[in-house]
Structure 1
């Protein structure tokens, strides 16, 4: 049970370096994957979702297959095929074989198709140049598009807004980003994406009734011997006192039964209280080691017990007095959920509930209320003692009466009877106590399970409006636009001053949460974003840390350098599989950014290829375009912009020709 206004809370102190704090895989979610023999419509839908999630390479494959192989050709599919081919890269990066896809749909779209205007706008955006009235014309065309078409154009053709449009188009993009950045209650929902699918409520099952064969054999033998000897004494006593002996026998049986029954409850309550006392005693916790399930549960309990310190309580006293119960609850959670398919984060909801429950009872002074509940009533003790006294008195009367008939034999039988009755009573007391213990445990477990199930249901309801991956991608795209607008304002740049730009997105160390849907890229709770703005005077690098859940920027850093300051640009893969971007300048330390985490066991099992998740994350991180731009600058310096424009002429003409051929 957690504070509804708080997202995940984490602690990292001193020199701690937490690479990945928590992760979740949501699936199966059929958003970016297709069936073995999918229909063209299903393939296209998967491609469209991939495109909007920033996974342009996957989008090109799916949409291309739907259009070319599946013959799913219409204005809608042709428009998004065009966006997929151009998204996140320059014309230089579009291979001729992909341009050929557009030629295969020659004459597929009529001029009055609802998507025709959007396709023509793309062509105009590619071929236009900043001339008088050019941007106004593009703005008018953009205005006539539907919201869906307009948003997708502004997102995926961002590269071509650099050289083809004036401030008006970017102002529209910035307006849309400001409008959508906090849409759909982002600040109260984004954290839920990083929560794993919780595992259902469980309790440790009640221990079964543990009565061995030897106990049953002993109970049978001693009871039979007691019945024989007491029966003999009773028959002998009947010869002397008649009906009084029968009454004494009945009193003896009733006293033994009542004494054993009340004694079983007495003993059961006492043993349960002692067990609880032992459980609640302070015991030193094992030092968490490694990164296994038990160690993570240890950290959870230590963290939440520290976090949920009751209001106004002394923290040291609280932790000291709850050390035993903390250890007992930790052991239970480890025992009932320790299996290969369960991640510790999936049971964090239960840890929070258990700790909050302990805190509530401790603050109310009810943590040890079990002692009152398990206290044996005085009436029950009195019944047990009086019943035993009555049984003993009845037995003594029978022996006294029988001794008048045959004192020697009755005396010997009395000794055997006393021993057998005593042993039988002890064995039956144990049996009765064990059955009562089992019944009490089952009743307690039922109550515990009901409370945990209610907490689980509350947590599931809380996660019911978890954002999907497409919402996460849209919010991140809006953050990019917001960062771009902020950087341009800081540097006092207009759109025509920016010759080219590139983004790199990476997880922000030292700690962050991450999650993804199956076959999707990793999404992070904290990002480090590098924005490179290429101007006529040099490169402006703007670096920020993004708290994705709250949509806030912090730790801003500005760096400027000349074009001739570049020495090298590369992406290196470390021994553990991390991808690290490295930019080396003539002066200063190299700029290094970890772009992706090393592959995990989860990734290896759930993706088609071991590096599938890492590659998809690289695709969405903007790394390909950043490398294309920065490598070009490193190789050609300031002249790269001019050379790039020249190199674009041939593919530009080919793309424009293919786009115009789409119309019938």
Structure 2
């Protein structure tokens, strides 16, 4: 991850390992979606995408619909129809009605079709299974295929690569997995898949101008009264000394104008500084508990303020001095994004930007610059005081001059005028300061919005090369192949020693992120993978924790047990919607693995079909084949393998006959 402390532009990857069961549902996408009037070609492509993503059941439905129901028949579609029917299951698991579908494409492929070799290889792989050494020439046939064809065969015919002659094919599969495991900048891009689509930049809007009708009425009334009284005093003073009275009137008007103008500046600066002090100098807020939006935003700010402690700074001092700022920013984000459809993770980019900005200004000693910027200059204070004195002196001169002409009326007018000028000045000061405050707030909000919008665009550009679900599926398939190779190495097994195998993929608790594309399975940032190898001597189980984003494994656990140690195998759905795999042995604690998460508040809001997502994820987790293998062993013991071979003979003959009938 890049160090965020150097500025808000370097925050790109920090959230990749922060979330606990983070929700990110990417859409709308077209990878696994079929429009109502989609052509057979497009339907087939959707099915092919599903197949390569490990969603074999959905792939079979889409490809069969395109090939069988809508007659989209060619060598390529027939090849992938065969792979879809066989992917992730044994021949015993292929129902007769699906085998019968192959008869619908009888004679569809010519001998000069580029997919002939690939289809024939599938038939040869099937026919090599019951007999040792019956797969001669497979390596040569394999060389005739394209890289894409070879990868697809190795991925989806994995269950049928179990004869001694196919060791070379497994070695090739392992080599391809090592090559593709870090392809397309996996380490630099995989984390982005788990980032939710960010929501746009917002700021709390500037408060509207608040001037009540009473203020406007008071300003108009007192101003009118002030003008009347001042004009009366001025006219009377004119009779005593016209030139002096005119000069005093001009001085009074200028003094009042300048003093009010400087007074507005004084008042506005003071009010804004006090408002900011009240906002950012408060103590830390009480941590909000629960799983609501506000509590998640609260945890985000607490996490990033702790994470982004400036270098060489005392953390306790940093957190103490920024407690009020943290609270103010948290409250703002909660206020402007608190909607029922907003996932807190979608504003994580803004939280990181705000915290990084605070850290940068704190380190530079500029966090409290607003106090200096809003300090009232001495010149403004002096101008206000001096012009007020000048205006008062001019008014006093006018009263003195007028009193020489009409003492009592001028005295009464002076008292009334003084009161009306005082109140008029206060009213207009309040009005002008409010408009000035609104203008300053609006300019500040525009500046803040521009900075946040720039940060948002940077984050969007950072996520622009987010990997798609097919890339995630391919990387996971490579990790699974790597685990298979590692297991065979540590157990010192050759491929012919492995009579059957099964994988189970589950999220690695307690801390992981998860995300999915619309209609796709959940992908996890951390996996717990169980590999079962059935050998003539018993079952070898290898359990590893995979950090998918870093492509590293840890906590390898090896378990061995006899075939007669199985008691039961099941996948149970708990009350909260979790699916838990449980393997019970005759001795020891049951092996339990949570395969899917329960729906959460976020998935219920953002996901159209959370239950369907759970079922799709179960399908890609390898449970179907694992249950078939382990349930068979639990019921029949070691003999299950021999019985399975006998039971496969009939469907094998049917499939081989149907495959050969494809060629014209």
TM-score class, shorter: over 0.9
The answer to whether the Cα contact below 8 Å between 2:16 and 2:194 also exists between their aligned partners in 1 is no
Give the 3-state SS of the residue equivalent to 2:541 in structure 1: strand
Give the 3-state SS of the residue equivalent to 2:529 in structure 1: strand
Structure 1 stretch 604-613 or stretch 150-159: which is displaced more? Answer: 604-613
Q: 1:251-292, CA deviations, whole angstroms, 9 ceiling, x for partnerless residues?
A: 111111111111101110011111111222132312212100
Instruction: After TM superposition, give the deviation of residue 100 of structure 1 in Å.
Output: 1.2
Distance in 2 of aligned mates of 1:494 and 1:110: 38
Q: TM-score, normalised by structure 2?
A: 0.97
| Equivalent position of 2:346 in the other structure | 346
| Equivalent position of 1:476 in the other structure | 476
| Equivalent position of 2:193 in the other structure | 193
Q: 1:466-515, CA deviations, whole angstroms, 9 ceiling, x for partnerless residues?
A: 00000000000000000000000000000000000000000000111000
Instruction: After TM superposition, give the deviation of residue 135 of structure 1 in Å.
Output: 4.2
| Equivalent position of 1:14 in the other structure | none
Distance in 2 of aligned mates of 1:132 and 1:612: 42
The answer to whether the Cα contact below 8 Å between 1:574 and 1:580 also exists between their aligned partners in 2 is yes
Cα RMSD of the aligned pairs, angstroms, is 1.4
Q: TM-score, normalised by structure 1?
A: 0.97
Give the 3-state SS of the residue equivalent to 1:183 in structure 2: coil
Instruction: After TM superposition, give the deviation of residue 599 of structure 1 in Å.
Output: 2.4
Distance in 2 of aligned mates of 1:495 and 1:61: 32
The answer to whether the Cα contact below 8 Å between 2:505 and 2:528 also exists between their aligned partners in 1 is yes
Q: Could you say if the C-alpha distance between residues 161 and 4 of structure 1 is closer, same or farther in structure 2, counting changes exceeding 3 Å?
A: farther
The answer to whether the Cα contact below 8 Å between 1:506 and 1:596 also exists between their aligned partners in 2 is yes
Distance in 2 of aligned mates of 1:239 and 1:79: 113
Instruction: After TM superposition, give the deviation of residue 600 of structure 1 in Å.
Output: 3.3
- Pairing 1:56–2:22 present: no
Instruction: After TM superposition, give the deviation of residue 522 of structure 1 in Å.
Output: 0.1
- Pairing 1:274–2:281 present: no
Give the 3-state SS of the residue equivalent to 1:22 in structure 2: coil
Q: Could you say if the C-alpha distance between residues 609 and 193 of structure 1 is closer, same or farther in structure 2, counting changes exceeding 3 Å?
A: closer
Q: Could you say if the C-alpha distance between residues 166 and 432 of structure 1 is closer, same or farther in structure 2, counting changes exceeding 3 Å?
A: same
Q: Could you say if the C-alpha distance between residues 429 and 606 of structure 1 is closer, same or farther in structure 2, counting changes exceeding 3 Å?
A: closer
Matches of residues 58-457 of structure 1 in structure 2 within 5 Å?
A: 58-129=58-129, 134-163=134-163, 165-457=165-457
Distance in 2 of aligned mates of 1:10 and 1:327: 24
The answer to whether the Cα contact below 8 Å between 1:576 and 1:598 also exists between their aligned partners in 2 is yes
Q: After the TM superposition, list the runs of 4 or more consecutive aligned residues in structure 1 that deviate by more than 3 angstroms.
A: 1-7, 129-136, 600-610
Give the 3-state SS of the residue equivalent to 1:268 in structure 2: helix
The answer to whether the Cα contact below 8 Å between 2:125 and 2:135 also exists between their aligned partners in 1 is no
Instruction: After TM superposition, give the deviation of residue 652 of structure 1 in Å.
Output: 0.3
Distance in 2 of aligned mates of 1:279 and 1:605: 33
Q: 1:183-232, CA deviations, whole angstroms, 9 ceiling, x for partnerless residues?
A: 01101110000000001111111101111111100000000000000011
The answer to whether the Cα contact below 8 Å between 2:11 and 2:353 also exists between their aligned partners in 1 is no
| Equivalent position of 1:558 in the other structure | 558
The answer to whether the Cα contact below 8 Å between 1:135 and 1:168 also exists between their aligned partners in 2 is no
Instruction: After TM superposition, give the deviation of residue 246 of structure 1 in Å.
Output: 1.7
Q: 1:500-536, CA deviations, whole angstroms, 9 ceiling, x for partnerless residues?
A: 0000000000111000000100000000000000000
Matches of residues 561-640 of structure 1 in structure 2 within 5 Å?
A: 561-604=561-604, 609-640=609-640
Instruction: After TM superposition, give the deviation of residue 136 of structure 1 in Å.
Output: 4.8
Q: Could you say if the C-alpha distance between residues 631 and 517 of structure 1 is closer, same or farther in structure 2, counting changes exceeding 3 Å?
A: same
Q: Could you say if the C-alpha distance between residues 624 and 293 of structure 1 is closer, same or farther in structure 2, counting changes exceeding 3 Å?
A: same
Instruction: After TM superposition, give the deviation of residue 576 of structure 1 in Å.
Output: 0.6
The answer to whether the Cα contact below 8 Å between 2:198 and 2:347 also exists between their aligned partners in 1 is yes
Q: 2:15 aligns with which of 8, 17, 24?
A: 8
Q: Which runs of 5+ in 1 are unaligned?
A: 12-17
Q: Which runs of 5+ in 2 are unaligned?
A: 1-7
Instruction: After TM superposition, give the deviation of residue 385 of structure 1 in Å.
Output: 1.1
Instruction: After TM superposition, give the deviation of residue 132 of structure 1 in Å.
Output: 7.9
Matches of residues 450-599 of structure 1 in structure 2 within 5 Å?
A: 450-599=450-599
Structure 1 stretch 231-240 or stretch 378-387: which is displaced more? Answer: 378-387
Distance in 2 of aligned mates of 1:621 and 1:148: 23
Q: 1:333-364, CA deviations, whole angstroms, 9 ceiling, x for partnerless residues?
A: 00011111211100000000100111111111
Matches of residues 4-43 of structure 1 in structure 2 within 5 Å?
A: 6-8=13-15, 20-43=20-43
Instruction: After TM superposition, give the deviation of residue 243 of structure 1 in Å.
Output: 2.3
Instruction: After TM superposition, give the deviation of residue 6 of structure 1 in Å.
Output: 4.0
Distance in 2 of aligned mates of 1:183 and 1:390: 80
Instruction: After TM superposition, give the deviation of residue 641 of structure 1 in Å.
Output: 0.4
Distance in 1 of aligned mates of 2:545 and 2:294: 33
Instruction: After TM superposition, give the deviation of residue 386 of structure 1 in Å.
Output: 1.3
Q: Could you say if the C-alpha distance between residues 652 and 636 of structure 1 is closer, same or farther in structure 2, counting changes exceeding 3 Å?
A: same
Q: Could you say if the C-alpha distance between residues 300 and 605 of structure 1 is closer, same or farther in structure 2, counting changes exceeding 3 Å?
A: closer
Instruction: After TM superposition, give the deviation of residue 244 of structure 1 in Å.
Output: 1.8
Instruction: After TM superposition, give the deviation of residue 162 of structure 1 in Å.
Output: 2.1
Q: 1:139-166, CA deviations, whole angstroms, 9 ceiling, x for partnerless residues?
A: 1111110111110000001000124742
| Equivalent position of 2:3 in the other structure | none
Distance in 2 of aligned mates of 1:9 and 1:317: 28
The answer to whether the Cα contact below 8 Å between 1:567 and 1:584 also exists between their aligned partners in 2 is yes
Q: Could you say if the C-alpha distance between residues 605 and 284 of structure 1 is closer, same or farther in structure 2, counting changes exceeding 3 Å?
A: closer
Instruction: After TM superposition, give the deviation of residue 3 of structure 1 in Å.
Output: 4.5
Instruction: After TM superposition, give the deviation of residue 70 of structure 1 in Å.
Output: 1.3
Q: 1:122-148, CA deviations, whole angstroms, 9 ceiling, x for partnerless residues?
A: 011001148787545111111110111
The answer to whether the Cα contact below 8 Å between 2:133 and 2:164 also exists between their aligned partners in 1 is no
